[in-house]
Amino acid sequence: MQKLKLDELNRVSIAEFKESEKLPVVVVLDNVRSMHNIGSIFRTADGFAIEQICLCGITAQPPHREIEKTALGATQSVDWQHFPTTLDAVASLRTAGYEIIAIEQASGSTMLNTYQPAAGKKFALIFGNEVNGVDEAVMAKIDKCIEIPQFGTKHSFNITISAGIVLWDFFAKLRL
C-alpha cells in the first residue's frame, strides 16, 4: 500500500466546491473562544461539504491568521456568516426551515448512535462554548438535543472532536 500524492487526491477547486451539492447541515458555533477550534471546524466542514457555518457572539471571524493556521484555506470554500447572538442565528435558521439541534449533554437528549436524520430535512447543529457548552437560553429554543455517548472519566470532548464525530455521523447516515 502506498500513500496517495497530492495530485492523486482529485481535489475540486473552490469554485467547483461552491457549486457542488452540500450536506443539508449548518454548523452553529455558540460563542466559541478558540480560533484554532474555529479553524479546525471550518476544515472539517469543508471535508464533509456542509452548507454553512454560523459564527455567533464572541466567535471570531475570518480572515484571521490564528483561524487560518488550522483552517488551511477552508474559510474560502465554506460559506459563513456572523450573528450578534446565537439566538439570532437560531431564529433565522428556523425561519429557513432548519431543524434546530444542540449537541450537548442534557436530560432528554438522544444518543447520536440512535439518532437517524430524516432524508429531505435540513439541520442546524449547535456546538457550544468550550467551557459552558450551549447557552441555556439557546437550549430553550432547540427542537432536539443529541449527545455523543462517552465512557471515560471526563465526559467531555473538545469541540473540534465533537464536530468531527457528529458531522461524520450525519454524512454517513445521509450520504453513504
Query: Closest Cα to residue 100, out of 92, 90, 108, 88?
Result: 90
Contacts of 35 (CB under 8 A, 6+ apart): 60, 64, 66, 67, 69
DSSP-derived 3-state class of residue 102: strand
Query: Closest Cα to residue 74, out of 63, 82, 83?
Result: 63
Q: Is residue 122 part of a domain?
A: yes
Q: Is residue 30 part of a domain?
A: yes
In tens, the pLDDT along 94-144 reads: 999 999 999 999 999 999 999 999 999 999 999 999 999 999 999 999 999
In tens, the pLDDT along 35-89 reads: 999 999 999 999 999 999 999 999 999 999 999 999 999 999 999 999 999 999 9
Going 4 to 46 to 106 to 109, the CA torsion angle's sign is negative
For residue 111, give its domain range.
21-149+156-175
Q: Is residue 83 part of a domain?
A: yes
pTM greater than 0.85:
yes
Is residue 138 within 8 Å of residue 85, measured between CB atoms? no
Least confident of 4-8, 35-39, 78-82, 162-166: 4-8
Q: Is residue 2 part of a domain?
A: no
Q: Is residue 8 part of a domain?
A: no
Q: Is residue 137 part of a domain?
A: yes
Q: How many structural domains does the chain have?
A: 1
Angle 75-77-80 from CA coordinates, rounded to 5°:
60
What CATH number has the domain bearing residue 73? 3.40.1280.10
Q: Is residue 14 part of a domain?
A: no
Cell of 77: 470554500
Query: Closest Cα to residue 138, out of 90, 84, 78?
Result: 90
Look at residue 121 in the predicted model and tell me its pLDDT: 98
Q: Is residue 36 part of a domain?
A: yes
